[in-house]
Amino acid sequence: MKIEKDHVVSIHYRLSEAEQLIEDSHESKPMTYLHGHGAIFPAIEEALTNKTIGDKTSITLTPEQTYGERDESALQRVSINHVVRQGKKKTRLKPGMQIHLNTKNGPQPAIVIKAGLKSVDVDVNHPYAGKTLSFDIEVIAIREASAEEIAHKHVHGEGGHQH
């Protein structure tokens, strides 16, 4: 079976930037997605179209094809009250620490630049923004999506979304 729109695809991947390994899915379960529905970067989806189980491909994507360029206006000072806390224990914030901020659109990830008593300077750019990323991908499994998965535009069941 070849990968095409409305197929559920499972892949393992290695993600690198400047030949430095950033992520490796081989250490966990394969990533499973619904092909043709915008679940992954369009250039990767295009590279995987018509591949079969066992096929491998490598692709390098520019920032414009992934998370965009870094936006210096995404460096912000926010009240410490906007930091999402786990439980009642207050964690000491340190530069480089990844946190989540309470926003009107829900929690948003951020990286601490500098922490004060009442405010924290954060970078809300995606951590991979501005980076050229290389993906080494292996197709692990392919199956036809169910009508429900197609209607919901995501995978259900093992490796997917449960309702």
Question: Measured between alpha carbons, how far is 91 from 76 in angstroms, rounded to an integer?
Answer: 20
Question: Measured between alpha carbons, how far is 12 from 115 in angstroms, rounded to an integer?
Answer: 37
- Residue owning tokens 């990286």: 111
Read off the pTM: 0.81
Alpha-helical regions (H) of 16-62: 42-48
- Residue owning tokens 């081989």: 26
Look up the CATH number of domain 72-123.
Answer: 2.40.10
Q: For 97-144, what is each residue's pLDDT tens digit?
A: 999 999 898 899 999 999 999 999 999 999 899 999 999 999 999 999
Question: Measured between alpha carbons, how far is 117 from 79 in angstroms, rounded to an integer?
Answer: 9
Looking at the chain, the domain(s) classified CATH 2.40.10 span 72-123
Looking at the chain, the domain(s) classified CATH 3.10.50.40 span 7-67+129-152
The whole-number pLDDT of residue 92 equals 87
State the CATH architecture for 7-67+129-152: Roll (3.10)
